[in-house]
Amino acid sequence: MKMGFRSSCLIVILASLAGLTMQDATAAPKSASTSFQIDVAHTGSTQFAKFNTPLKLKWSIQLGGYVSYPIIADGRVFVTVANQDPFDAELVALNLKNGAVLWRTPIPDNFALWSNATYENGLVFVLNSDGAMLAYNGKTGRVRWGVQLQGQYQFASPPIASGGTVFASGIGSGGTIYAIDEKRGKVMWSQNVAGSLFGAPALGDNGLYFSFGCDSYDFNPQTGAQIWHNNYGCSGGSGKTPVYSSQRLYARTITEGNTIFSGVDGTSLGTYNADEPPAFYTDAGGNPMEAVLYNGTLYGLHADTGAQAWTFIGDKFLTSAPLVINGKVIEGSEFGHLYVLDGGTGNVDWKTTISDIYAPDEYTLDQPLTGFGAADGMLVVPAGFSIFAYKSR
């Protein structure tokens, strides 16, 4: 049975691309989880030396507020936390092995509780809802530099860092994208775009991508020069975090639905259904696959054709953006059920129950964007105010 996740024209086009692998030049190092959905392309997939079930809970901790997606690097876990009392936000560093708090520091000037982070070269870069970006030393928590991004007044999309540059976006009066030098905190270039609500960056082989409500863009990450721009025939609207995989950009919007673009020239390749970012991987048979959550059901699809391989409904309240380790798909539910599935068949390899797992809300200023992270042999799962860390046995 084939699911209607692709238009017929897309199936024809993608069938010709079946020889492409799902590995991107932008994938994060195997020892780090540096951004929302693992890497700067947001592929939601990584490889460990081994990842076998059952998993063993190594540690858990309650942090007193809603917890962001984790950054995992250099033996540490970094999260932003939205505290309700007192009303403030913090950056917290934990020991990856045992969950001990290494340091925690306030995120200043945050008029709302949203803040999110990215990582490169020993620095944690945090963007708050007011457009203040700060670089923290990952070992000590000391602020290396801070910069106020100008021209916009609302920031609620996760930043990324790559090649010595941090990329971010803000909205309010249209939209603006920013490239900030990691060493000095200086804005290297900025570009105004036709964005009105939200639009996170994704980095791919062919440029720096943004997806706002009615417009998707590709820019040269070094210069800011526009490579292509595709308008959906509307204006305004809200975008979500795009995903780049195998020369294709998977854009998601509330206004116009989800569209797949050629990462090279912006040609529309068709549409697809997904509520959260899809995760891309290769199954045990070497088939390029994607895991997609849509209307509470998790689908395993053949990435080259869109054909359905399997479905999974779990407890019927699946919420998380899927994440994949060694071809095994991890998914969580509103009622705290955590599942590890065989990525080729959708069969449950292992499950457990923890605290409620929240869906990543890409349109709120009330709390940071959340999601799973994985690196250095550990799966890190935020669940409400808590974090659970698992290791393969």
Tallying the residues shown for the chain, one arrives at: 393
Q: Which residues pair with 34 in a beta bridge?
A: none
Instruction: Tell me the torsion sign for CA atoms 382, 383, 387, 388.
Output: negative
Model confidence at 379: pLDDT above 50: yes
For residues 291-307, average pLDDT: 96
Question: What is the pLDDT at residue 111?
Answer: 73
| CA separation for the pair 126, 160 (Å, rounded) | 10
The single-letter DSSP state of residue 318 is B
For the entire predicted model, the pTM comes to 0.91
Q: Pick from 102, 101, 96: which is nearest to 58 by CA?
A: 96
Residues linked to residue 218 through DSSP beta bridges, in sequence order? 209, 228
Please state, in angstroms and rounded to a whole number, the distance separating the CA atoms of residues 96 and 75.
5
Contacts of 70 (CB under 8 A, 6+ apart): 33, 77, 78, 79, 372, 373, 380, 382, 387
Q: Model confidence over 313-340: pLDDT tens digits?
A: 999 999 999 999 999 999 999 999 999 9
Tokens of 258: 């989800």
- Could you tell me the pLDDT band of residue 229, with boundaries at 50, 70 and 90? very high
| Of 188, 252, 182, 258, residue with least CA distance to 220 | 188
Compute CA 19 distance to the chain's CA centroid, rounded to the nearest angstrom.
26
pLDDT band at 65 (very low <50, low <70, confident <90, very high): very high
Residue 72 CA to residue 376 CA, distance in Å, equals 8
Which is it for strands 323-325 and 45-46: parallel, antiparallel or unpaired? Answer: parallel
Q: Is 269 in contact with 250 (CB distance < 8 Å)?
A: no
Q: At 36, which amino acid appears?
A: F
The pLDDT of residue 1: 34
Q: In whole angstroms, what is the distance from residue 339 CA to residue 352 CA?
A: 7
Residue-wise pLDDT tens digits, 51-63: 999 999 999 999 9
Nearest to 375 by CA among 39, 66, 98, 100: 39
pLDDT in tens, 352-373: 999 999 999 988 888 999 999 9
Question: Which residues are within 8 A (CB) of 233 and not within 5 positions of it... i.e. 6 or more apart?
Answer: 214
All structural domains of the chain: 8-392 (2.130.10.10)
pLDDT range class, residue 108, cuts 50, 70, 90:
confident
CA distance 160 to 315: 33
**Residues 104-127: what's their mean pLDDT?**
92
- For the segment 183-188, the average pLDDT, to the nearest whole number, is 97
Query: How is residue 18 written in tokens?
Result: 């079946």
pLDDT band at 146 (very low <50, low <70, confident <90, very high): very high
Question: Where does the pLDDT of residue 84 fall: very low under 50, low under 70, confident under 90, or very high at 90 and above?
Answer: confident
Contact 213, 130 (CB under 8 A): no
Residue 337 is encoded by which pair of tokens?
């059920």
pLDDT of residue 112: 83
- pLDDT 10s digits, 244-279: 999 999 998 766 679 999 999 999 999 999 999 999
